[in-house]
Amino acid sequence: GQSLEQPSEVTAVEGAIVQINCTYQTSGFYGLSWYQQHDGGAPTFLSYNALDGLEETGRFSSFLSRSDSYGYLLLQELQMKDSASYFCAGYNTDKLIFGTGTRLQVFP
Amino acid sequence: KAGVTQTPRYLIKTRGQQVTLSCSPISGHRSVSWYQQTPGQGLQFLFEYFSETQRNKGNFPGRFSGRQFSNSRSEMNVSTLELGDSALYLCASSSLSSGRPYEQYFGPGTRLTVT
């Protein structure tokens, strides 16, 4: 089957850097996406890695290593508004397979 | 551009009943996907439609079905509801012509409670 595992919860303080890992057991993913979901809200797209390496989008960066079946989302200069759930998602032929999700709590 | 809209936002049904949920994608988006979100199982892919054709289906029983209309609006139906069907049902649309089919735009969801 296809599965993407993430830590269930991560905590950090404002201004810090946090890394959310995603390990997957599957084949055939075209790439790895990251989505953010605030409580009561809809998931919103953050980034996508089609190739191995680092993609940077403002305070957020995402990394993919296909050989290690591993990716991560790096959030810098954390703000209170970054408190949310974060999901990695493997993209494969018009569908997203979501990871287990990581709840990030940012403290002042 | 208006975002993805879903109706109704909240729904309470009784076991054994059936339910139909509706989704209107972003204008110009022809791919519509449905997901079920529960605390225990997370976000699970139900099915994906493009040009009125179901192209992908997740691992859900046949009680879950859907369709897409010529204007790209989509509906999903759940028959013979079970308590375990209580969940947030999310619809997402994407534009294949954008070259970013992996970037899906989600609606606010329909919160279904089965009693």
Q: How far is CA A59 from the centre of its chain?
A: 13
A49 beta partners: A32
The model's pLDDT over B29-77, given as tens digits with 9 standing for 90+, comes to 999 999 999 988 889 999 999 999 999 999 999 999 999 999 999 999 9
- Judge: A41–B108 Cβ closer than 8 Å, yes or no: yes
The model's pLDDT over A50-105, given as tens digits with 9 standing for 90+, comes to 999 999 989 999 999 999 999 999 999 999 999 999 999 998 877 889 999 999 99
CA distances from B27 to A10, A43, A51, B24, B30 (A): 37, 19, 30, 8, 8
User: ∠ CA B24-B28-B30 to the nearest 5 degrees?
Assistant: 70
Shortest distance between the Cα of A100 and any Cα of chain B, in A, equals: 6
- Judge: A95–B56 Cβ closer than 8 Å, yes or no: yes
Q: What is the mean pLDDT of chain B?
A: 95
